[in-house]
Every structure is written in structure tokens, then in C-alpha cells.
Amino acid sequence: MLKKPYELAALLLAGLVLSAAVCAGNDYPPQVKSTVEQRCMVCHGCYDAPCQLKLDAWRGLERGASKDKVYDGTRLLNANMTRLFEDAHTAQEWREKGFYPVLDTEQPEQGVLARMLELKRAHPLPEVDRLPDSFDFSLDRDQQCPKPEEFDVFAKDYPLWGMPYGFPGLDSTEQATLGEWLAQGAPGVPRDAPGPEERLSIARWEAFFNGSSLKQRLVARYIYEHLFIGDLYFSDLEGEPRFYTLVRSHTPPGSDIDIIATRRPYDSPGSERVYYRLQPLQTSVLDKRHMPYALNRARKERWDALFLQPQYEVSVLPGYAPEVASNPFIAFRQLPVQARYQFMLDEAQFTIMGFIKGPVCRGQVALNVIDDHFWVVFTNPNILDPDQDAEFLARESNNMRMPSGESSLLGSLVEWRQYASGQRKLLKAKSRMLEKLTNESRLPLDTELIWDGGGDNDNAALTIFRHNDSASVVKGLVGQTPKTAWVIGYSLLERIHYLLVAGFDVYGSMAHQLETRRYMDFLRMEGEFNFLVFMPENKRVELRNFWYREASPDVKEYVLGRHAFITDDSQVEYRTSLPVQEFFSLLEARLPGARAPRYQPVSPQFAELQKKTGAGLSLMPEVSFVHVVADGGEDRVYTIIHNSAYLNNTQLFREEQRRLPVEDYLTVVKGFIGSYPNIFFQVPEAELDTFVASIEALQSEDDYALLLSNYGVRRTSPQFWGLSDTLYDHYRQHQPIEAGLFDLNRYENR
């Protein structure tokens, strides 16, 4: 069989790639890596790492710390970016950006890191259940980031603040091992280079991403702007996977990568030709940002069939002017709509995970726009639908313009009127076209409009859990029937991605954060309107009003009213007075993976707990990991998720005033959901009934304190690190591809 041009190019490049070491950077030595990962990275691993001390890579240790915060909701201007491996590359360059060393090469014992560890050894945590208020565990706390010359004063003022902060210290073996390594200057070691088969895979994929035709180049740009946050791996190869990041480079395959470090993935690269390269992941795998994406022969054939085999012409490549590059309906209008939509649907969990999980590590601005628990399904990509009509999308492309992130606070108020006007025009145009299609009986409003995953793709139904400033997205319809649900079509899915992933800037100004949050209101309401289309006509307003209790009348018009409307009745044959439950019961039997077998079965003791609602349940943390110690056989792990209820989600502020604790409920699943556990429980199997009964009986903080005393593992417990390691090992054993280190920054002190 003849090979495709990019495969032939790969074979030619293979000699270059195989003969040269693929730069993978330095890493921690094996004897210290597990300690650094499971005692240090669990708090120092992302943009919100205290003092910007990112220890998820050895280069982060070399870079050091900074007194500046990445997360600052009050800044009026965009901040200077400090992305590891991108915005500076040498220790001296980082010093010029305000970072100071935490290592001392001349007197290793005087380095900040060594002294932090010694401070904890000399001043262990007090033997109490709850640490005093002098410990501040709030995410926006005033951080103490002492430079070497400031450490003596810090140690005197905060003797109990040694590392790990607010947790038990290292054991004697860990302390000795790290101490010896630090005494040697904390050297790094080269990461293992990929083997021959893996290098050949790199060559083949880089050839695919760097074809010379205009069609290939536009397709590669589209794929890059959707996968740049992913951890890519070659699933056809045996053994433990090595993860890669798809990056833009000034240099072609076969040469060293020269990263194009722009603020956003669609910003101008500053050169006419861009090369897309696979760079080995140089950090440890952290669950809060880990988004695995498989590359294999089937994937390549799929993309070839979607984008390259169809007969269409790309006459000119789009430019990088903000009004073009930030609007995918303009930038990629030459690519078939069906191909773009199917590309995102094939890995819908990954696509949604980009804005639900993503690499930003703290997302309250974007996430308090959504409910704590809801289900998502998608429109069928093979139907006549305004959301997939190329001419309709072209006409409405300006009305789908999204925030560029360049506005001032005052300018964003002016821009906001234009976004609101554009959304109203889009909704009206979409509503009119929907009515036309349904009146002509070309678009029956029944379950056939919902994508069935092609019969075997378990991305067809997803569940989203919001945990205050983080969230999780999992496959299947997990938990109780939620209050609300979204139906997502192509244009909505694309806008969510470009608003919250490709276009979101964690270093952006307050205006950018506010614009993003307010625009996401529109997208949530559009997804909810799409869902209401499938409800009985006489139930739609009732459901909308329940979702938007005490919201302004104008807001409701965006969900169902003069802005978004549908008069035709659903053609789903409902037989009960509970259409939401009935609709999803029909889908559960039709969509692959909708029953979420991975998270079942939960222990029968939890069955009644999941049926309860009430203010007492609001005492439970957002995410609890429960380790059930078996009398015999294998231990089990469950996650208890606390779903908070609200009157509505239409306001950025005053969230607590919209809380409805009486409607709170819990979801219990087998295994893990959530990257930020708030508490660990350890329960003997024989006491599981008592444990569950204690949760059901919660009425006060004293009740919860008793629950913790009986079954909780507080952050002061000598058993804390042992259980933390056990849970992580369980995760790696049962989910080796997606498992990553949990983040302990939100572990509670109650």
C-alpha cells in the first residue's frame, strides 16, 4: 500500500530524529523524586503554587520563588508572564524577572528550602486536632515568601510554618535523603530519552502536523489550538507512556525546538511559517492539569478522513489579527464544519475538560457561572441544524465574537454592550431557523437529535461537578438526576473552548476576568435553552423559572423568551410528570457509557445517603476521599461529592446570598473524582453503616467534628502521609493513564 506523503516524510526524518537525543530536560534524581512529588509538589505544582515556587520540575527548583502572585483579581493591567520553560530559560533570566534562589550553592544548609525543612523538623506541628488561626489556609492568604536574608525574621515570627506547611513533617529517612541531596547542591539528572520506536512515532506525527499544502497547514493550526493543553502519548506503544506537549516552534522537525512563546495559542508567531512539534513533558504529572490524549494509527486515519480526504479548497491561510484569530468561525471557515465538530466530539470529555479542568489550576471566575452538578449531551453531527450550517455560521460569525482580553476595565463595559447585542441577534437568528426547520418537519425534536456516540463512543454523555474554584468532568450520567442540563452543539462547543481555554489568560487583567465570566453566562444559558427544546412545551417556562429563581426578567429572556424562543412542542413521548428524569432515562439506554460503569457499583450503604437533601449535608466538604479498609480482600476507595444548591447562577458576586443549603445533596462514586481533596476518611468495612449514619445525622459543626474524630484523617494526623500515599498508589494502579498527584492546597483544617 502506498504511504501518504507525511508518512514518507516521517521516514526521511526518522534518521535525523533517531540519531539525535530528543531533549527532555533535567529531572530530580530517583532517590529523591518520590519524596519531592508526594510531599512538595502536592502544594507547589501550578500557577497557584505558594510564592510561585513550582516544584513540579527540577527547573522550577532552580528558578526559585517570587513575591508576586499570579492570581490577583485586582490588577488593572495584564501581568508579565512567568511560565516555566517558556518565558525565561536560565536562572539569570529568572533573577531579572524578580525570582530569588531557594538553594545556596556555596552554603547548601543556608538555602531557603533546606532551612524550611529544618524549621519543620525543629518545630513540628502541635498535637491538636485543629491548627490555630495563626495558620492561614485560604487560597488568597497573604503569603510569606522570605528571601535568604529575610529568613531569620521569618523563622522567629512563624516558627511553625516550616515545610510541608500545615502538614506533618518528613520522616527521618525522607529528611536524611533530601538533606544529603541538598547538601550536594540539589543536582538534577538528565531525563531518559525516548527509545527508537518512540522517536519514530515522533517523526511520523511531526510530519503529519507539518505538511506543506495550505490545507495541511490550516488543519494543523486548528488541531494545535485545540490540543495545546493536552498531555499527548503514543497509545500504540507498549510500556508506561511518556507524555508530550504540542508546541509551536520556529524550527522544523529534525532540529532543536525553539518555542514560540505567545500569550495565547492563536497570537501572531512573528514569522511566516510555524512548525508544530512534540516536546516531552518536563514536569511531573499533576491530576489538576493532566489531560491525556492518545495518538495512534487509528487517530491519524480518523483525522485524515475528517480533514484531508474531503474535496475542498483552502485558498489562503488566515492571518493572526485579533479579530480573526480569536474567532474560530472566521479563522477556520474554510474547514468543513462537520469535520471540526466531529473532531471535538470524538474526545468530548477532553474538549470539555479544557475549561472545566484545564491548566489554570484555579477557576472561580469562570466556574461560579455553572451549577455544582449537571449533565451534558451533544447534538447529532449528522443532522440539519443551524449550529452546523456553514452559511448560518458565516453570517453570524461577528455576533459570535468573543472577548479578546485586551480591553481596559472601562473599555470592557462598552464592549459588553456589543457582546450582549451580538448574543441577542444570534439567539434570535438561531430561534427563527429552528422554527423554520421544525415547521418543515426537517428537524424533529426528539432524542434522534442527540449524538449517540456513533454506537461505541462513551464521550456521548458527560457529568460535570463544580467544586467552588475547580471542577471535574467525567464520562457517563453520574449521580442523581441534576436540576439542570446542557445540550451542546458545534458553535457553542467552539465558543466555550475559545473563551475559556484558547483565549483565557491566567495573567490577564481584572477586565479580562470579568468579561470572561459575564460572557460565559450567555453560553450557559444557550446550553440550557438547547435542553429546554426537548422538554414538553407546557413545562419549559416552569423549568426555566425554577433554575432562575430571583433572577431578573431580562436574564430569563436569554434562556427562554423574546431572545431565545421555540414554540413547537417536543416530539419525545413523555409518560410521566418528571420529563427531565424521563428524558435521560431514554438517553441512558441509547448512549454508550451513559450508565457510567466505572463509578459503579457504590457500596449499598451509600444508596440511601444519595437520596437525601438537607442543610445538614452542607457541613460536608466539597470532595472527600473515603478509604474503606476491608476485613478481607482488597480495600476500596469512594469519593463523596457535596453539591451545593443556589437560587441561580447569574451573578458574579454575593454567591452566599443565593445559597439554598436545604437543597444540598451528596453524590457517591467508586474511585476518584476531583483533584483537590478536602478531607480523607478511613473507615473499617464493618463500620461503614455507622459512618454513613453519622453523615445522614449531621446538624452542626460539633456533629462534623465528631465524624472527623471517629473517621477523619486530619492534616495534623501522624497517619496523614501514609494514607495520602495509599490513595495515590490506588489511583495509579486502577487508572494508570490518567492518574496524577492530587493537590492538597484545599485540605481543610476543621
What is the pLDDT confidence band of residue 13, given thresholds at 50, 70 and 90?
low
What is the pLDDT confidence band of residue 21, given thresholds at 50, 70 and 90?
very low
Question: What confidence tens digit (pLDDT) does each residue in 47-62 have?
Answer: 889 999 999 999 999 9
Question: What confidence tens digit (pLDDT) does each residue in 23-32 have?
Answer: 557 999 999 9
State how far the Cα of 104 lies from the Cα of 112, in Å rounded to an integer.
8
C-beta of residue 21 within 8 angstroms of C-beta of residue 195 = no
Element (H, E) at 731: helix 720-734
Question: What confidence tens digit (pLDDT) does each residue in 740-750 have?
Answer: 999 999 999 99
pLDDT surpasses 60 at 658: yes
Buried b (16+ CB within 10 A) or exposed e, 409-430: eeebeebbeebbebbbebbeeb
Structural domain spans, the chain: 5-24+192-280, 33-190, 367-588, 601-734
Question: What confidence tens digit (pLDDT) does each residue in 263-282 have?
Answer: 999 999 999 899 999 999 99
Give the count of beta carbons closer than 10 Å to the beta carbon of residue 431: 20
> Nearest CA to 47 among 84, 73, 18, 17?
84
pLDDT surpasses 70 at 285: yes
Question: What confidence tens digit (pLDDT) does each residue in 611-640 have?
Answer: 999 999 999 999 999 999 998 889 999 999
Cβ neighbours for 59, distance < 8 A, ≥ 6 positions apart: 25, 26, 84, 85, 188, 282
State how far the Cα of 619 lies from the Cα of 664, in Å rounded to an integer.
10
Please give the pLDDT value at position 504.
Answer: 85
pLDDT surpasses 50 at 161: yes
- Listed in sequence order, the DSSP H helices in 105-213 are 112-122, 151-157, 172-183, 196-209
> Nearest CA to 155 among 100, 104, 101, 117?
117
pLDDT surpasses 70 at 359: no
What is the pLDDT confidence band of residue 356, given thresholds at 50, 70 and 90?
confident
Question: What confidence tens digit (pLDDT) does each residue in 438-470 have?
Answer: 888 788 899 999 999 999 999 999 999 998 778
pLDDT surpasses 60 at 3: no
Distance, C-alpha 305 to centroid of its chain: 29
Please give the pLDDT value at position 2.
Answer: 39
Give the count of beta carbons closer than 10 Å to the beta carbon of residue 74: 6
Please give the pLDDT value at position 106.
Answer: 93
Mean pLDDT of 114-121: 97
pLDDT surpasses 80 at 683: yes
State how far the Cα of 190 lies from the Cα of 59, in Å rounded to an integer.
12
Please give the pLDDT value at position 412.
Answer: 57
State how far the Cα of 656 lies from the Cα of 499, in Å rounded to an integer.
26
Cα–Cα distances (Å) from 685 to 259, 639, 682, 749, in that order, read: 52, 15, 9, 26
DSSP 741: B
Q: Which residue has the higher pLDDT, 127 or 475?
A: 475
C-beta of residue 364 within 8 angstroms of C-beta of residue 651 = no
Cα–Cα distances (Å) from 25 to 283, 293, 322, 347, in that order, read: 10, 22, 34, 30
Strands 373-378 and 461-467: antiparallel
Please give the pLDDT value at position 408.
Answer: 55
Give CB contacts under 8 A, 24+ apart, made by 721-729. Answer: 721/38, 721/39, 721/167, 721/168, 721/171, 723/627, 723/680, 723/682, 724/38, 724/42, 724/680, 725/38, 726/627, 727/625, 727/627, 727/637, 727/672, 727/680, 728/38
pLDDT surpasses 90 at 384: no
> Nearest CA to 185 among 129, 243, 87, 114?
114
Question: What confidence tens digit (pLDDT) does each residue in 319-350 have?
Answer: 999 999 999 999 999 999 999 999 999 999 99
Q: Which residue has the higher pLDDT, 68 or 18?
A: 68
Q: Which residue has the higher pLDDT, 12 or 526?
A: 526
Radius of gyration for the alpha carbons in the chain, expressed in angstroms and rounded: 26
DSSP 39: I
